[in-house]
């Protein structure tokens, strides 16, 4: 194969989506999720409304979000009917997921997290003063740092009863 043919093939595969992950996770990608998440994510209540999304890498994160000493999972999702993007959080041992975005508004993030460019685990003990001047939150466990790169960021954290939004930067 001539070198320029290989480049043409690569461009063709990229344009058709064969090398770009952006839809539902492949079987191989799903094997990276903890086994205990399968009944929740594949359950009728969740799977009939939401689809897993691989539009960001990684498409899932794990941390102790509720502070109970067990690893929980956060996974990117999309509402099947509306296309709204969001995050589903599965606490270890829970039978249902908590949905943030994807039709469920939370803080300044709104009901659609399609603006989300990057996310990571925020496990630092101390939360610094945020952009709004409000007192930093007391978290029960790890938080999710959600970002619109070069624009704004916030923490999604569990306060013992619900997930809350704390604006970090504008």
Instruction: Judge whether residue 79 has pLDDT over 60.
Output: yes
- 167 or 134: which carries more pLDDT confidence? 167
Distance between CA atoms of 26 and 21, rounded to whole angstroms?
9
Instruction: Judge whether residue 106 has pLDDT over 60.
Output: yes
User: In this structure, is residue 82 part of a structural domain?
Assistant: yes
Sorting pLDDT into bands at 50, 70 and 90, what band is 67? very high
Instruction: Judge whether residue 170 has pLDDT over 80.
Output: no
User: In this structure, is residue 7 part of a structural domain?
Assistant: no
User: In this structure, is residue 77 part of a structural domain?
Assistant: yes
pLDDT of residue 4: 47
Map 43-54 to HEC letters: CHHHHCCEEECC
User: In this structure, is residue 147 part of a structural domain?
Assistant: yes
What value does the mean pLDDT take over residues 3-7?
44
Q: How many residues does the chain have?
A: 170
The helix or strand, by DSSP H or E, that contains position 16, with its residue range, turns out to be helix 3-16
pTM of the full structure: 0.81
User: In this structure, is residue 156 part of a structural domain?
Assistant: yes
User: In this structure, is residue 13 part of a structural domain?
Assistant: no
The residue whose two tokens read 């209540």 is 45
Instruction: Judge whether residue 8 has pLDDT over 50.
Output: no
Instruction: Judge whether residue 143 has pLDDT over 60.
Output: yes
Counting the structural domains of the chain, the total is 1
User: In this structure, is residue 9 part of a structural domain?
Assistant: no
pLDDT of residue 22: 52
What value does the mean pLDDT take over residues 128-154?
78
Instruction: Judge whether residue 166 has pLDDT over 80.
Output: yes
User: In this structure, is residue 40 part of a structural domain?
Assistant: yes
Residue 32 belongs to domain spanning: 22-169
pLDDT of residue 11: 37
Percent of the chain with pLDDT over 70: 76
């Amino acid at each position: 194969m001539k070198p320029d043919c290989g480049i043409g093939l690569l461009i063709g595969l990229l344009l058709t989506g064969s090398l770009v992950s952006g839809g539902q996770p492949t079987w191989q990608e799903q094997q990276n999720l903890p086994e205990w998440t399968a009944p929740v994510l594949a359950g009728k209540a969740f799977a009939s409304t939401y689809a897993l999304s691989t539009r960001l890498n990684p498409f899932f994160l794990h941390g102790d979000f509720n502070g109970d000493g067990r690893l929980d999972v956060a996974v990117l999702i999309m509402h099947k009917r509306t296309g709204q993007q969001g995050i589903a959080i599965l606490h270890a041992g829970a039978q249902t997921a908590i949905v943030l975005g994807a039709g469920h508004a939370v803080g300044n993030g709104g009901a659609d997290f399609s603006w989300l460019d990057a996310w990571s685990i925020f496990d630092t003990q101390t939360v610094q003063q945020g952009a709004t001047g409000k007192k930093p939150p007391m978290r029960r466990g790890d938080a999710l740092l959600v970002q619109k790169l070069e624009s704004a960021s916030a923490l999604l954290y569990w306060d013992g009863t619900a997930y809350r939004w704390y604006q970090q930067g504008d």
